Amino acid sequence: MEEYQKSKLNRVKRGANRATYDVDKINTILDAGFLCYVGYIYEGKPITIPMAYARQDDKIYIHGSTANRMLLSILESGETSITVMHLDGLVLARSGFHHSVNYRSVTLFGSLQKVEEEADKTEILKWIVNQMVPNQWDSLRPMNQKELDRTLVVEFTIETASAKVRETGVADEPEDYNEDVWAGIVPVKQVAEYPIADKGKPQQMEIPKHILDYYEANK
């Protein structure tokens, strides 16, 4: 079992019993989503921005406009922190103090570089699109040169990381279990609703199989 080395930077202090540094478990959490939160400093102010991403091995890829201030800022600094989180349930306790949520979260730390080669940029954009909906890229028209020129792709190398997972029930005070208060878990999940065609030709077309497959798997 490969683990990220623990340090002051990535060590989980609060709720350490819920922490894991296992590389495979962390990658599983990353691969279950397609939105991450990227932190950066802009003119002395901390800002966090949600971004689409893809993972390949120990790399996270994000993209945006060549004028994107977040991407330019993290490239200038050479490092950043990225967080991915999935909400799995509301933990409703007998007291407000013990209300919580069940979740899977990962925090990544690492270094960055700009992806320069057009072929590499195109392949990475394919990964990002397919992380959102598998097999979507092959159904699209090819990107043109203008679009490639206006797109900045950043490679983030995971140097260390930690995950924190809560997947248990209510943890009330022993004396509160006799209270006439309902307690329990409300499971939460992200679901897909039936695809809605855009105006024009798509309204006369069959919905592609890979999109229906995604709907069936996530409804």
The pLDDT tens digits of the residues spanning 82-107 come to 999 999 999 999 999 999 999 999 99
Which DSSP state fits 3? Answer: B
pLDDT value of position 43: 87
pLDDT of residue 15: 84
- Dig out the tokens for 46 from the structure: 């901390």
Give the residue ranges of DSSP H helices in the chain: 23-31, 69-77, 118-132, 145-149, 209-218
Distance between CA atoms of residues 88 and 44, nearest Å: 35
Q: Which residues pair with 15 in a beta bridge?
A: none
H/E element holding 62?
strand 59-65
Positions in the chain short of pLDDT 70: none
Identity (one letter) of the amino acid at 14? R
Collapsed DSSP state (helix, strand, coil) of residue 67:
coil
The Cα–Cα gap between 98 and 37 comes to 27
Please indicate, yes or no, whether the overall pTM of this predicted structure exceeds 0.85. yes
In a 3-state reduction of DSSP, which class is residue 89? strand
Check: CB of residue 94 under 8 Å from CB of residue 177: yes
Main-chain phi, psi angles of 82, to 5 degrees? -125, 140
Domain annotation for the chain: domains and CATH numbers: 16-188 (2.30.110.10), 190-219 (no CATH)
Give the pLDDT of residue 139: 96
* Residues linked to residue 109 through DSSP beta bridges, in sequence order: 81, 160
Give the 3-state secondary structure of residue 137: helix
